């Protein structure tokens, strides 16, 4: 990986952090709303445990995805874009090579 | 344990099964209602994961508690009575020695 992709300027770090928080807020809000809706349709224990299984999976997923280490930013962003929690346009301000890498990873 | 406590007549088994199902239904209904209420007050991820932790604990508890093996009936009933999902009166029809044992266990 070329040096330009490893170094993050302070501005880029701030931007990355803000983009992360935006995606996080969107995903969490959507999840809470989804759970609030789903739970109203539950009428038996199997359905409740299905919701529990779903929450276990989402918790594992979210805990792993929002990795604030610089070295993981590009992978994390590509994942968030793939899932629709962030758009490439919201990474405007990052070095073009980083955005290209995110775009390429998101297409995988 | 005297033999009378180990042997279950068909009538007793039917009664035990029905009592079990009654307690199960009550507990499940209360849990679903509780979750439906709690979830409406959730506004962030920490609260959602707290609900998830709570469901994990309740699932573990319920899975273990409703043990339909004859040998576990007395322990299971005493637990359900202690927690308020069943009353000793609902075990009317079981051999008096069994009911006494359940009552004693429930007081522990």
Please give the average pLDDT of every successive group of 10 residues along chain A, which has 108 residues.
65 92 95 95 94 97 84 89 95 93 93
**DSSP 8-state class, residue B92:** B
Map out the domains of chain B as residue ranges. Answer: 9-107
Element (H, E) at B40: helix B10-40
> Would you call A35 and B39 a contact, using CB atoms and an 8 Å cutoff?
yes
Residue A86 makes CB contacts below 8 A (sequence gap 6+) with A19, A22, A23, A26, A77, A80
> Nearest CA to CA, how far is B18 from chain A (Å)?
18
CB B94 within 8 A of CB B12: yes
Q: What is the ipTM of this complex?
A: 0.81
Q: Identify all chain B residues contacting A45, using CB atoms and an 8 Å cutoff.
A: 28, 31-32, 62
């Amino acid at each position: 990986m070329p040096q330009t992709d490893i170094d993050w300027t302070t501005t880029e770090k701030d931007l990355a952090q803000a983009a992360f928080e935006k995606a996080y807020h969107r995903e969490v809000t959507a999840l809470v709303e989804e759970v609030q809706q789903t739970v109203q349709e539950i009428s038996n224990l199997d359905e409740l445990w299905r919701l529990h299984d779903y929450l276990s999976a989402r918790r594992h997923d979210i805990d792993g995805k929002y990795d604030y280490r610089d070295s993981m930013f590009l992978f994390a962003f590509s994942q968030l874009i793939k899932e629709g929690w962030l758009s490439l346009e919201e990474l405007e301000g990052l070095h073009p090579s980083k955005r290209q890498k995110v775009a390429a990873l998101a297409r995988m």
